[in-house]
Amino acid sequence: MILKRIAQWALMAVAVPVAAAGARQLSRKMEARRGPSRVTHLLDKGAEHLRPQKAKRRRFW
């Protein structure tokens, strides 16, 4: 059971940021080659949802 949790943590700590960076890079390369399109916009949005670049400030009141 502990090994399963460690594997899940490793997946979230390593694979998700790598996937977000890959989507961002692919989007930029496609946009440089062909210009902005719906696909590049969706790749950017997906990467932003996976791993936001900026921490959003939350207010509790």
Contact 31, 55 (CB under 8 A): no
User: What are the backbone angles phi and psi of residue 60, rounded to the nearest 5°?
Assistant: -100, 0
Condensed to tens digits (0 to 9), the pLDDT of residues 28-53 reads: 999 999 999 999 999 999 888 877 66
End-to-end CA distance of the chain, in Å?
39
Q: Tell me how far apart the 2 most distant CA atoms of the chain are, in Å.
A: 48
Residue 31, pLDDT score:
94
Percent of the chain with pLDDT over 70: 84
Residue 48, pLDDT score:
86
Contact 44, 27 (CB under 8 A): yes
> Which of the two residues, 37 and 55, has the higher pLDDT score?
37
Q: How far apart are CA 52 and CA 48, in angstroms?
A: 5
